[in-house]
A and B are shown apart, each in its own frame.
Chain A
Amino acid sequence: GAGVSQSPSNKVTEKGKDVELRCDPISGHTALYWYRQSLGQGLEFLIYFQGNSAPDKSGLPSDRFSAERTGGSVSTLTIQRTQQEDSAVYLCASSWNPTNEQFFGPGTRLTVL
């Protein structure tokens, strides 16, 4: 079946602009995660959604970052007023439930000029 998909695959933006990154999880997966992979910081957790529960936002680096998950499926990660340090690959993952294996999408490479 279809895996986790993300769009766009690449995004180049100017400092100060807002960007939206999209994640389509595997159908039926109730848990959805966002991670960030950057050279200096490795792989970092950003935010986690589980069903209708309040999301775990403990990994969001600043209030410029937000995410939502509509209808328990698609998720959008929004970065406002982008900074150069936001440049990274943003990975989305989903799983049947929080204790099951996470499957990762191909990522969105964000470059902030």
Chain B
Amino acid sequence: ELKVEQNPLFLSMQEGKNYTIYCNYSTTSDRLYWYRQDPGKSLESLFVLLSNGAVKQEGRLMASLDTKARLSTLHITAAVHDLSATYFCAVHSLKAAGNKLTFGGGTRVLVKP
């Protein structure tokens, strides 16, 4: 059974500082996704990571994938208030779980001035 674990569950950030969210998964993955969810809103796609060593960056967010360690990280550089949201990683593994996405529990991020 594919399991996806995120940590921390909650992250209180200070503006201007750097932070990392971790996503571990239990079996081989085909694709790994990062989503952002604002309160009361749906999921917004941030990154899709396909292969070992993949790194993608958008603004202050950078995601990376290590398939050997079964680990993805979402790094936030110089946090700003607008980044306050809940972040989810999700794994697509056809072999382990078919065509559905298996989600981590989410990391609630609150950026304080």
Contacts and interface: CB of A to CB of B under 8 A. Distances in A.
| A and B pair up | yes
A33 interface: yes
A44 B88 CA distance: 13
Contact of B42 (A44, A50, A59, A105): A105
A66 interface: no
A97 B94 CA distance: 13
Would you list the 5 A-B pairs with minimal beta carbon distance, nearest first? A98-B99, A43-B103, A45-B100, A104-B43, A104-B42
B96 to A, nearest CB: 13
Contact of A56 (B48, B99, B103, B104): B99
Nearest to B30: A99
B45 interface: yes
Interface string A52-79: 0000101100000000000000000000
Interface residues of A, number: 22
Classify chain B: how many residues form its interface, as a range.
20 to 34
Contacts of B103: 42-44
B42 A33 contact: no
Nearest to A50: B99
A48 B105 contact: no
B98 A58 contact: yes
Contacts of B94: 98-99
B99 A106 contact: no
Contacts of B101: 33, 35, 45, 102
A105 B48 CA distance: 18
Contacts of A103: 45
A43 B103 CA distance: 6
13 contacts: A35-B101, A42-B103, A43-B88, A43-B106, A45-B102, A48-B98, A56-B99, A91-B42, A99-B99, A104-B42, A104-B43, A106-B41, A107-B42
Nearest to A33: B100
A48 B100 contact: yes
Interface in B38-58: 41-43, 45, 48
B87 interface: no
